[in-house]
Structure 1
């Protein structure tokens, strides 16, 4: 079997409704725009696709396919995923590829393989579980009272934990985290994501508050350029750290965070920022060797498969971006997400942009 065509199809990515925001300095939800589907086909009719559901993604991906990816892929065996994954890293040496594009070829090839085998990708990967609890991962709301109300709604809907994305002010965020713990009681798992908003002194201050409130993990308080700063943070606070979400290098730089003692809860994995399915699985196995967690980042469908395949992950991350909370469609009333059943990754190959594809896009961007 050989790859014979590599195509980019533009798809409309709707704006979040209602719009939402992140911490001070990061802005908020994107306006509607053109996302893209990467489609890889073969001489035997097997095909695989990957969605790049980011407004403005279409032009970026079209350029990469025309300049770089099509020439590399045409004529190749689509089952040589490892070799092609390494080729993308080689290409990056000159091309400086945008981080979210690293895994697109890999995702499409895993989708193709699953369709050929007639199995969902999580089963092709070996399969570990058929259901996983979901936590509610908030956007940033205006007041403490609004956060507490959202938390009440999430717990009533069955979510089994809550993670805060707050304002990016260490003292204000610490007060919010303490208020939430007092509000929900001692038994609800709580997490905090700093979205890289702090320097080391403020990260230490906030980390000590989180430890006192018995938060499960402390995620990305600083930009992930300085592993030394994270090493010092780990030495200074008892709250377990979840690290290596956005830094380039997949399992390679995750290894350096672990070696430095900075990944005291675990490392982030995911198809979008850690090099597709292959990069995520490499990172998860590395973390497992050190007996730490590999927590899956993001609530799109490829990461749904990762949650079912990775043994050392704890939760499915489900975004909650509106003050009137609705459960994500993958989450049941017990707060569980169940394994996909369709072959491949289950982005439909029908590119007429019908209801099923629209549901997929909405699930990946809201």
Structure 2
């Protein structure tokens, strides 16, 4: 079997309704925007797709396919995913590919393989579980009272834990984190994501409040360029750190965080920022060798498959962006997400997405 065509299709990414925001300094949800589907086909009719929905996705991906990817892919064996994954990294050396594009070919090839074999991708990856608990991962709300009300709704709907994306103010965020612990009691798992909003002194200040409130993990308080800053943070706070979400280098970069003692809870794994499914699985196996967690980042469909394949992940991340909480369609009333049943990754092939695209798209943050 050989790859015969590589196409990019433009799609409209529907806006979140209602719109939402992240911490101060970051943009919120985008209006209806420009997205792209990467479509890989073969001489035997097997095909696979992946979705790219960041701002400017279509023009970025069309340029990369026309200028770089198509020449590499046409004529290649679509089942040689390892070879093609390494080729993308070789190409990155010269072209400095945008981080979310590093895994798009890999995701489409895994989708193709699953469709060809009539199996969901999580089973091709080995299959570890058929259900996983979901936590509610909030966007940023206006007040402590709103956060507490959202938390009550999430727990009533069955969510097994709550992760905060707050305002990016160390003092104010610490007060929120302590208030939420007091509100929900000692037994609800709580997490905090700083979306890289702090320097080291403020990250330490906030981390000590999270330690006091017994948060399960402390995620990305500092931009992930300085591993030494994370090493010092790990030495200064007791709350476990979940690291290496947005840093380049997939498992290679995660290894340096682990070696430095900065990954005291674990590292992030996910298809969007860790080099697709292959990169995420490498990251998970690396972390497992050190008896650390590899928490899957994002609630899109490829990451749904990852959650079922990785032994050392704890939860499915389910985004909650409204003060009127509606449980994500994949989460049942017991707070569980069940394994996909369809072949491949089960992304639509006809590109008639409309509002049905939203479950397949991870929101940047």
Question: Where on the TM-score scale, by shorter chain, does this alignment land: which range?
Answer: over 0.9
Preserved CA contact (<8 Å) 2:301 2:359: no
Structure 2 SS opposite 1:345: coil
Give the corresponding residue for 1:364.
Answer: 361
Q: Does 2:112 match 1:136?
A: no
Structure 2 SS opposite 1:347: coil
* Cα distance in 2 for residues equivalent to 1:33 and 1:63: 18
Preserved CA contact (<8 Å) 2:300 2:359: no
Give the corresponding residue for 1:70.
Answer: 70
* Cα distance in 1 for residues equivalent to 2:55 and 2:192: 27
Preserved CA contact (<8 Å) 2:140 2:166: yes
Residue 192 of structure 1: CA displacement?
Answer: 0.2
Preserved CA contact (<8 Å) 1:35 1:52: yes
Q: Are residues 126 and 256 of structure 1, via their aligned partners in 2, closer, same or farther at CA, if it must alter by over 3 Å?
A: same
* Cα distance in 2 for residues equivalent to 1:331 and 1:30: 24
Residue 360 of structure 1: CA displacement?
Answer: 3.6
Residue 131 of structure 1: CA displacement?
Answer: 0.2
Preserved CA contact (<8 Å) 1:53 1:364: yes
Structure 2 SS opposite 1:253: helix
* Cα distance in 2 for residues equivalent to 1:362 and 1:112: 20
1:1-366, aligned counterparts within 5 Å? 1-351=1-351, 353=352, 358-365=355-362
Preserved CA contact (<8 Å) 2:122 2:306: yes
Residue 361 of structure 1: CA displacement?
Answer: 3.2
The number of aligned residues is 363
* Cα distance in 1 for residues equivalent to 2:242 and 2:5: 39
User: For residues 294-321 of structure 1, what are the alpha-carbon distances to aligned partners after superposition, in whole Å with 9 as ceiling and x for unaligned?
Assistant: 0000000000000000000000000000
Q: Are residues 362 and 130 of structure 1, via their aligned partners in 2, closer, same or farther at CA, if it must alter by over 3 Å?
A: closer
Residue 348 of structure 1: CA displacement?
Answer: 1.8
* Cα distance in 2 for residues equivalent to 1:175 and 1:363: 34
Structure 2 SS opposite 1:196: coil
Preserved CA contact (<8 Å) 1:139 1:166: yes
Preserved CA contact (<8 Å) 1:328 1:363: no
Runs (4+) of structure 1 moved beyond 3 Å?
Answer: 360-363
Structure 2 SS opposite 1:203: helix
* Cα distance in 2 for residues equivalent to 1:48 and 1:176: 44
* Cα distance in 2 for residues equivalent to 1:285 and 1:365: 23
* Cα distance in 1 for residues equivalent to 2:41 and 2:360: 25
Structure 2 SS opposite 1:325: coil
Residue 365 of structure 1: CA displacement?
Answer: 4.9
Preserved CA contact (<8 Å) 1:32 1:55: no
Residue 359 of structure 1: CA displacement?
Answer: 1.7
Residue 228 of structure 1: CA displacement?
Answer: 0.3
Preserved CA contact (<8 Å) 2:299 2:359: no
Structure 1 SS opposite 2:44: coil
Residue 56 of structure 1: CA displacement?
Answer: 2.2
Preserved CA contact (<8 Å) 1:6 1:73: yes
Preserved CA contact (<8 Å) 2:13 2:357: no
Q: TM-score, normalised by structure 2?
A: 0.98
Preserved CA contact (<8 Å) 1:35 1:58: yes
CA RMSD in angstroms comes to 1.0
